Amino acid sequence: MRHFGLCIGLAGLVVLSAALAYARPTPQLANVTLENLETAFNGESNAHARYLAFAQEADKEGYFQIASLFRAAAHAEEIHAKNHANEIKTLGGTPQAKIDIPVVKATKENLEAAIKGETYERDVMYPEFYKQARTAGIAGAVQTINYASAAEAEHAKLFTSALNNMATMRAKGVTYYVCTICGYTTTNLDFAKCHTCYSPKEKYVAVT
């Protein structure tokens, strides 16, 4: 019985330590994560503007499905920016973005630029920000970074597929679906709950 009590005591201590790890970020680590979220907010806000400009160019060139994909991705980036902004405010910051005038080229090059951006966010930026937010123990930051990272990975796949199949991407009215909670972007709703945030699929909106 004494051992049993000791085990319960130790288990309680572990749970308490884990809770405190999330409850009390050190100011220094919290500042790093706040700066990371400000960087990510700026990046997502610019990606939103850039993809809307890329969509216009794709429409002009008659790549209507690619235009729909860019609009869907733009909406996803807007959701990421909003999620990051909420967490920045929670951490005492003020979300600010400097929107650069998008550099728009031909659709093929726009897709290549988009893939480069998404790949960087997926492989370099968000993994580093995720690690630092985990170390700081800031659950809200971990969540918004995780949501964005998962969606960017899917965007990279969708843009790569579009680039490899440009000749078949001229159909009008193709629908993409975007999760309004986490920004995950997909071509079909063959699931009950979002793969990333587990929201019911009713939270998805259609973008054409």
Task: For Fe ion, give the closer residue by CB, 132 or 185.
Answer: 185
44 binding Fe ion? (CB under 5 A): no
197 binding Fe ion? (CB under 5 A): yes
Q: Mark out the alpha helices in the chain (DSSP H runs).
A: 2-23, 27-60, 64-90, 107-120, 126-136, 139-164
Task: For Fe ion, give the closer residue by CB, 34 or 179.
Answer: 179
Judged by CB under 5 A, the chain residues 81 through 140 that form the site for Fe ion are 118
179 binding Fe ion? (CB under 5 A): yes
Name the strands in the sheet holding 176-179, side by side, starting at the edge strand that comes first in the sequence: 185-186, 176-179, 204-207
Q: Which of 37, 178, 182, 207 binds Fe ion (CB under 5 A)?
A: 182
Contacts of 125 by beta carbon, 8 Å cutoff, 6+ apart:
39, 40, 43
Task: For Fe ion, give the closer residue by CB, 78 or 152.
Answer: 152
Q: Taking the CA atoms of 81, 84, 85 and 86 in sequence, report the sign of the dihedral they define.
A: positive
181 binding Fe ion? (CB under 5 A): yes
Residues lying near Fe ion in the complex (CB under 5 A): 118, 152, 155, 179, 181-182, 184, 194, 196-197, 199
